Amino acid sequence: MLGCKPAETPVDSGNQAKLGGGDPVDKGRYQCLVGKLIYLSHTRLDIAFVVSLVSQYMHSPCRGHLEAVYRILRYLKRTPGKGLFFRKHDKMKLEVFTDADWVGSVEDMKSTSGYCTLLWGNLMTWRSKKQAIVARSSAEAEYRAMAHEICEIIWIKRLLEELKV
């Protein structure tokens, strides 16, 4: 893919709901590519969501799924300098951001929760995961996302206390 045309975004927002489709593709090659993207997404959070989308089809990938993986690779070609950068800060500050989409998955009507925690201005934890049940409202989806992040904050607080920070 060295000669490919770079992509502006990791996923085509118009085709997100219609990610799959087409003929089956080589399962081994697909799993290998997605596995490498999963590994890379630990430092490239800009691709984490779309990698989680394509990883849902590891058992039976189709042409559309493989095209989505190729789009991620074309996006990575365009943005080689992006990634996590950690800086030293003197003031300890814990910041938390959380969000959820309501009925983000057209297939099963489940919402996706996401959060990130910054400590000393640096990203410490993050997560994007489909919720276990179908939320009845956007408020319920947001509440569930916030509840997961609060559990994460309690864990971080206890960890910092053990480390005497």
Question: Could you count the other beta carbons within 10 Å of the beta carbon of residue 146?
Answer: 16
pLDDT of residue 155 exceeding 60: yes
Range from 16-30, 34-48, 63-77 carrying the lowest mean pLDDT: 16-30
Q: What distance in Å separates the CA atoms of residue 113 and residue 101, rounded to the nearest whole number?
A: 7
Question: What does pLDDT average to over the chain?
Answer: 86
* Torsion angles phi and psi, residue 61, rounded to 5: -75, 145
Distances (CA, A) of 70 to 7, 75, 148: 10, 9, 32
pLDDT at 141: 85
% of the chain at pLDDT higher than 70: 94
Distances (CA, A) of 85 to 9, 14, 94: 21, 31, 17
What digits encode the pLDDT tens for the residues 14-23? 655 456 678 9
DSSP string, 38-73: HHHTTT-GGGHHHHHHHHTTSSS-BHHHHHHHHHHH
pLDDT at 62: 93
The answer to whether the CB of 50 falls within 8 A of the CB of 68 is yes
Query: Average pLDDT for residues 45-62, to the nearest whole number?
Result: 90
pLDDT at 14: 64
Both tokens of 97, joined, read 């951001």
What digits encode the pLDDT tens for the residues 93-113? 889 999 888 777 667 788 888
pLDDT at 150: 92
* Torsion angles phi and psi, residue 64, rounded to 5: -65, -35
In the chain, domain spans = 13-78, 94-162
